[in-house]
Amino acid sequence: MLTKTYKVNGMHCASCVALIEDRLKKIGGVGSVSVKLSSEVAAVDFNSEEIDIGVLNDTISPFGYTLSDTLNKNMNHAEHGQGQDGGWIDMALEMKFVLPLVAFSFIMMLWEILSGKGFAPSMPSIVSDASKNLMPIFASFVLFGIGRKYIKAVWIFIKTRTANMDTLVGLSTVTAFIYSLAITVFEKQLSPYLNVSSNFYDVVIVVIGLIALGQHLETKAKKKTNEALQKLASLGSKDALVIRGGKEMRLPVEKVEIGDIVIIKPNERIPLDGVITSGASSIDESNLTGESIPVDKVINDIVFAGTQNFQGILHIKITKNPKDTALAHIISIVENAQNSKAPVERMADRISRVFVYIVIGLSLASFALWMILGPASMGEAKAFALAISASMAVLVIACPCSLGLATPTAIIAGVGKGAERGILVKNAESLEKLSKTTAIVFDKTGTLTENKLAIEGIYCKDKNHNCDEEHVNLHKSIAYSLAKSSKHPISESVAHWLGENKTKALPLLNLKEIAGNGMNAEYEGRQYYFGSLAFISRSIGKSEETIKKDFNDSRFVMGRELYLANDSEVLSLIKIHDTVKEDSKEEIKKLRELGLKVVMATGDNKKTGEAVAQELGIDEVYTDVKPEDKLKIIKGLQEKGFKVAMIGDGVNDAPALSQADVAISMSDGSDIAIESSDIILLKGDIKKVAEAVRISQKTNRIVWQNLISSFAYNSIGLPIAGGILFPFLGWILSPAIAGSIMAFESVTVVTNSLRIKRMKL
């Protein structure tokens, strides 16, 4: 299945989202469609091959929408998030012309209301006459200027019977304008039937002007929710200084090839992933990992695109093309997550599909009720004016935009906040699920402990673990010669430790490795064995109990042993243990304070596993487990009612990660596209776990605050606009006031979502 992303033009509310998705899905060859109001982006899945954009636009253009291909750009994403800038500037210019008219109309409207109630002096006739003559001109300028799209929305509704928020605004303002114009032109003829002293020109100006202002502020706020992705996009370099044929030349990054040597000067950004071949420096990786401390880099170290060189001149051999860099993967993951939909958002979308039509129905019902019940108590002329006013107020106070923005703006801000901190969330659903997690299961090695093992020492069979220096050196040399020939992580750790201690290698013969057990080789006519207790026991014919007894030492708790033996006896024991990560204990404490049950599952023996768990303050520990056993542990917790997050290395933990409600992987930064994970912690940073949980919880709270606010606003506002308070208080909501309230409801939702960006971690 092929997926392509498009910029959507002409979209204004959640009902637009529903309409575009429904229409595009009906095209043959289109699998699924996901449209995001917050980012104005549509992700279209094609069943086989891509469908021409013209065909897609032919389907939705009759409803006022078009797709553009501007998002499918080159890898550096430097233009990301800038597509709306031109529109934002146009809106700012419109505001300069319209807001003075809105202010004038609002002042005139309030003066008239207050003077009628005796709270202000009567309006002088010169002012009243000037207002009466100017308001039709101002209203025409606003309606046929920035209000053109609302007229178009009404026309589309008449032709296609499809509606969105623009339709609601258009129906109310066009109705208000036609009613007012009729009174102005046919004042004498209509005076016996209508109250010709009142018109709704101010409604046209105030509603359109304030809604435009609200959309202007909303667009500005939405841009802020997406600043994290824009910041990542800005890290990409457009060119690089390359050495070719012995000459230095500056080339666009798209023309730099794998294997090229690139020169990076102080304070320059690294254009592509590569390996240092010359020089040393400190590299600022904070924009990718969230870590503020620069990382020292020397020859053979890996460096990443988008990071900044602080000091020396570096020569880097390029290893990744622009589309495969760590930065490109991060941007892709963040984009996909921000454009994905959480389950709660799908609920809001379903409501939005019918919301606009419900509002139109309520508006007509409000008009009908006023015309049925009003004339008996206030006369037909006044009842008709109030019926028009109430029906318009219902149309303009409804705010489908707030429903459409409630979830995605919070998701964008939450995903962006995570990206800033080196926490990559792959989709919105994972963020929602993490907020509901009640138990978290850790793999031990590489997660709570360092990937590199620590060597405690090499000990002889003597009960005091003392050997003469000659024997110690011989045993070390044989162990070193065997270990350095293996690629097993434990053997590599032993070889590294012995090598650092300047151990000499010996010429071994007939070296053999038995996977998962150990190694043996010949030296000076004798066979030597190096490996696990079971392997040594089988190799020399001694029981494990006897060997353990010879090397018993209660000092060593957290660890495992490797033994060195010749063909007749065990010579030495090398004691190895995992090094607990510096921040593991504090992180476990934070997770428990957040109310999570913390579990550790490890392949180590019971003694070692329980010692680590006790040191870290872990609630529950499972030892001697294989990868398939971890899956059973996850299932067991889920059967007890826990929502489980699993944290592992993404390789041998894949079955358990797949079973968990949320799969979290630790990454060293070079491999961030871990398929079995929902959330990736860059650089394997254990400190990011509690941060990820807190970000998810904060995001989920704000999503629900936004949704509850939107539902409450519409549930309370619509009846009040319809005039439900009039029989009790003699008060009805002006359409102009209703429009101004609606204009700022969406802004409130987006502004609330921005609180995620400001949360302190």
**What pLDDT, in 10s, does the model give residues 92-146?**
667 788 889 888 888 888 888 788 778 888 888 888 888 888 999 999 999 998 8
At residue 671 the predicted structure's pLDDT band, cuts being 50, 70 and 90, is: low
Q: Which of 273, 349, 443, 604 is catalytic?
A: 443
Q: Give backbone dihedrals phi and psi of 5, rounded to 5 degrees, phi first.
A: -110, 135
Mean pLDDT lowest among 290-299, 302-311, 501-510, 750-759: 290-299
Q: What is the spatial distance between Cα 510 and Cα 71, in angstroms, rounded to a whole number?
A: 60
Rg of the chain over Cα atoms, rounded to whole angstroms, equals 35
Q: What is the spatial distance between Cα 196 and Cα 233, in angstroms, rounded to a whole number?
A: 58
Token pair of 208, please? 């359109």
Closest CA to 283 of 238, 324, 241, 235: 235
Residue 691 confidence (pLDDT) above 60: yes
Residue reference for tokens 């667009």:
219
Q: What is the spatial distance between Cα 254 and Cα 509, in angstroms, rounded to a whole number?
A: 51
Closest CA to 451 of 626, 684, 689: 684
Burial 496-507 (b: 16+ CB within 10 A, else e): bbbeeeebeeee
Mean pLDDT of 3-14: 83
At residue 343 the predicted structure's pLDDT band, cuts being 50, 70 and 90, is: confident
Residue 444 confidence (pLDDT) above 90: no
Mean residue pLDDT across the chain: 83
Element (H, E) at 251: strand 247-252
Any catalytic annotation for residue 678? no
The CA distances from residue 528 to 31, 65, 210, in Å, are 63, 77, 86
Measured between its terminal Cα atoms, the distance across the chain in Å is: 39
β-sheet with 2-9: strand ranges across: 30-36, 41-46, 2-9, 66-68
> Residue 320 in contact with residue 299, Cβ under 8 Å?
no
Closest CA to 332 of 31, 522, 73: 73
Q: Taking the alpha carbons of 692, 693, 699, 700 in that order, is the dihedral positive or negative?
A: positive
Residue 455 confidence (pLDDT) above 80: no
Q: What is the spatial distance between Cα 270 and Cα 236, in angstroms, rounded to a whole number?
A: 9
What predicted TM-score, i.e. pTM, was given to this entire model? 0.73
Q: Set out the domains of the chain in order of their start, with CATH numbers.
A: 2-72 (3.30.70.100), 86-226+338-410+700-758 (no CATH), 234-325 (2.70.150.10), 450-579 (3.40.1110.10)
β strands within 432-507, DSSP E: 439-443, 449-460
Q: What is the spatial distance between Cα 308 and Cα 328, in angstroms, rounded to a whole number?
A: 16
H, E, C per residue of 568-607: CCEEEEEEEEEEECCCHHHHHHHHHHCCCEEEEECCCCHH
Q: What is the spatial distance between Cα 130 and Cα 186, in angstroms, rounded to a whole number?
A: 19
pLDDT at residue 47 in the model? 86
Q: What is the spatial distance between Cα 108 and Cα 626, in angstroms, rounded to a whole number?
A: 78
Residue 346 confidence (pLDDT) above 90: no
Residue 43 confidence (pLDDT) above 90: no
Paired with 67 in beta bridges are 8
Instruction: Compute CA 585 distance to the chain's CA centroid, rounded to the nearest angstrom.
Output: 28
Token pair of 149, please? 């799209």
Mean pLDDT of 150-164: 88
**Using one digit for the tens of pLDDT, what is the confidence trace for 275-291?**
999 999 989 887 777 66
Closest CA to 448 of 696, 621, 292: 621
| Total length of the chain | 761
Mean pLDDT of 1-19: 82
> Residue 715 in contact with residue 351, Cβ under 8 Å?
no
SS3 of residue 257 by DSSP: coil
Pairing of strands 518-523, 509-514: antiparallel
Inter-axis angle of helices 428-435 and 688-722, nearest 10: 100
Give the range with max mean pLDDT: 19-28, 89-98, 215-224, 450-459. Answer: 19-28
Closest CA to 7 of 89, 66, 64: 66
Residue 429 confidence (pLDDT) above 70: yes
At residue 314 the predicted structure's pLDDT band, cuts being 50, 70 and 90, is: very high
In percent, how much of the chain has pLDDT > 70?
90
